[in-house]
DNA sequence: CATAATATGTCAACATGGCTGACGTAAATG
DNA sequence: CATTTACGTCAGCCATGTTGACATATTATG
């Protein structure tokens, strides 16, 4: 189970079950361990923030919005919609709550005054960092257990799991946000 | 950003922001890349099955139930509730649909006839394997990109991300399922 | 300049999948 | 026999996603 050589099979579609020659071309054996570990790891990963958020009557939707606005100050509503891949109506609800409660502000675009550029307030940044801090604790605990190279290995694995189409865009987003958020330190 | 030595900071709670001595004890710098990569990787990872499921008027809830029943034939309803960590009312809805449409069957327990042990039908197994096959394609594509050792590295990382309390239970679950599902090949 | 396109907001209605609370029934257990 | 357990069900609420239609301000264009 551990060292199956699968690299030759990955082009095959998965549908059949047995290995009758002439039928469906041998699906790769499901990688059950990774499938299930991803489920449980992600569950716990988002579970930490959930507890904090529930005390504020916020949910994961608020977390996602707050996170990306914090990471990309001055982003357009349209950009956020594209990242989150939800409708503006869905975004509107949670965004309105975040604005009403003073976690996020919208400023008219300088060049294009139709735009409502999004920024976190100090209050919003504090919350965003608190939530990121919880997740960071978990991640760093894992890295500490695993020894050096774990961060790089995790980054490479997760990156390779992203749709090849989006991958560049996601990496650009992360890099751009790195630039936009870091200078405040 | 790449090689910050964080292992000395992980015990510190994250709340403050600056490094005033005497105040909150220096939160670890958020590991933004992993936080965001996990978000996007998981999104794509569950996105593949979602497309197939939507054609059957099923959602992720059905997927999770079908997955774990397929992996743990004969499991009790109570076990499934514990794994999914939802209420029996929530489970009831999706389970009923899966049963009504012939993907899952319930059999009276042999020793304890109160139990309704869960099994996938051949139809259910086919669907479960189709969905797992999609996710396996993505995983194996990633592993192929990353070279040897990627599977082991991913497993170790994901395992370390799970709550220490549950970790043993999860690993036992995966191992037990491995035993229960494999012998049919 | 008039018109079209764009960025955003909003109203209404609906679906999914969580939740709580209450209650029922059959079977096991003390 | 009384209680507990395993499970099912009814009723209703909430969060967060959806579609469709429409309004408003601003920019872009023929």
Nearest CA in chain A to B131: A14
Provide the CA B81 distance to its chain's centre, in angstroms. 14
Provide the CA B138 distance to its chain's centre, in angstroms. 15
What DSSP string runs through A34-63?
HHHHHHHHHHHHHHHHHHHHHHTT--HHHH
How many whole angstroms separate alpha carbon B183 and alpha carbon B185?
5
Strand-pair partners of B119: B105
pLDDT at position B178: 76
* Contact at CB, B36 and A160, closer than 8 angstroms: no
- Going by pLDDT thresholds of 50, 70 and 90, the confidence category of residue A21 is low
pLDDT at position B179: 73
Lowest mean pLDDT among A36-45, A172-181, B163-172: A172-181
Q: Which nucleotides of C are covered by protein (CB under 7 A)?
A: 6-13, 16-22, 26-29
* CA angle, B50 then B141 then A21, to 5°: 90
Footprint of strand C on the protein (CB under 7 A): A 76-78, 88-89, 92, 95-96, 106, 109, 112, 114-117; B 57-62, 64, 85-87, 89-91, 93-94, 111-114
**Position A150 pLDDT exceeds 70:** yes
How many whole angstroms separate alpha carbon A75 and alpha carbon A83?
11
**Which residues in chain A have their CB less than 8 angstroms from residue B13's CB?**
133, 137
Residue A6: Cβ within 10 Å count = 18
- Going by pLDDT thresholds of 50, 70 and 90, the confidence category of residue A176 is confident
Exposed, middle or buried: residue A48 (CB in 10 Å: 0-12, 13-18, 19+)?
middle
Strand-pair partners of A160: none
**Position A182 pLDDT exceeds 60:** no
- Going by pLDDT thresholds of 50, 70 and 90, the confidence category of residue A82 is very high
Q: Break chain A down into helix, strand, coil percent, rounded to 5.
A: 60, 5, 30
What's the pLDDT tens digit per position in A83-138? 999 999 999 999 999 999 999 999 999 999 999 999 999 999 999 999 999 999 99
With pLDDT > 90 as the criterion, what percentage of chain A qualifies? 79
Closest-CA distance, A113 to chain B, in angstroms, reads 30
**Position A174 pLDDT exceeds 60:** yes
**Position A9 pLDDT exceeds 80:** no
How many whole angstroms separate alpha carbon A117 and alpha carbon A119?
7
Nearest CA in chain A to B155: A34
User: Residue B82 corresponds to which tokens in the numbers above?
Assistant: 């514990």
Q: Determine which of A2, A139, A145, A176 to mutate to test the interface with B (most B C-beta atoms within 10 Å).
A: A139
pLDDT at position B183: 52
How many whole angstroms separate alpha carbon B80 and alpha carbon B61?
12
pLDDT at position A72: 97
Class of domain A32-184: mainly alpha
Listed as own residue / partner, the contacts of A4-13 with beta carbons closer than 8 Å and 24 or more positions apart are A4/A29, A6/B140, A6/B143, A6/B144, A7/B140, A7/B143, A7/B144, A9/B140, A10/B137, A10/B140, A10/B141, A10/B144, A13/B133
For chain B, the domains span: 32-146
What DSSP string runs through B93-138?
HHHHHHHHTTSEEEEE-SS-TT-EEEEE-HHHHHHHHHHHHHHHHH
Q: pLDDT tens track of chain B, all 185 residues? A: 343 333 333 333 444 344 445 555 556 799 999 999 999 999 999 999 999 999 999 999 999 999 999 999 999 999 999 999 999 999 999 999 999 999 999 999 999 999 999 999 999 999 999 999 999 999 999 999 999 999 999 999 999 999 999 999 999 999 988 777 655 44
pLDDT at position A118: 98
- Going by pLDDT thresholds of 50, 70 and 90, the confidence category of residue A1 is very low
**Position A69 pLDDT exceeds 80:** yes
pLDDT at position A26: 58
Exposed, middle or buried: residue B2 (CB in 10 Å: 0-12, 13-18, 19+)?
exposed
How many whole angstroms separate alpha carbon A142 and alpha carbon B166?
14
* CA angle, B94 then B100 then B103, to 5°: 80
Q: Which nucleotides of D are covered by protein (CB under 7 A)?
A: 5-12, 15-21, 25-28
Cα atoms in the 13 Å half-sphere on the side-chain side of A127: 26
How many whole angstroms separate alpha carbon B99 and alpha carbon B119?
10
Q: Which residues contact B91 (CB under 8 A, 6 or more apart)?
A: B65, B77, B80, B81, B84
How many whole angstroms separate alpha carbon A87 and alpha carbon B130?
29
pLDDT at position A23: 52
pLDDT at position A113: 97
Task: Report helix, strand or coil for B1.
Answer: coil
Class of domain B32-146: mainly alpha
Q: Which residues contact A3 (CB under 8 A, 6 or more apart)?
A: B151
Average pLDDT of the residues of chain A: 87
pLDDT at position A28: 78
């Amino acid at each position: 189970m551990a060292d199956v050589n699968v690299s030759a099979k990955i082009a095959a579609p998965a549908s059949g079950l047995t290995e009758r020659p002439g039928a469906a071309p041998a699906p790769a054996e499901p990688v059950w361990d990774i499938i299930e570990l991803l489920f449980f790891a992600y569950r716990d990963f988002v579970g930490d923030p959930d507890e904090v958020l529930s005390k504020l009557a916020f949910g994961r939707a608020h977390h996602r919005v707050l996170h990306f606005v914090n990471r990309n100050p001055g982003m357009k509503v349209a950009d956020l919609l594209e990242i989150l891949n939800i409708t503006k109506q869905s975004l509107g609800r949670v965004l309105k709550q975040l604005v009403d409660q003073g976690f996020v502000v919208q400023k008219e675009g300088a060049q294009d005054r139709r735009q409502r550029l999004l920024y976190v307030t100090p209050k919003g940044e504090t919350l965003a960092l608190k939530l990121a801090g919880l997740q960071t604790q978990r991640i760093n605990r894992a890295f500490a257990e695993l020894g050096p190279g774990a961060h790089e290995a995790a980054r490479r694995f997760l990156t390779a799991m992203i749709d090849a189409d989006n991958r560049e865009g996601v990496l650009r987003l992360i890099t751009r946000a790195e630039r936009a958020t870091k200078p405040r330190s």
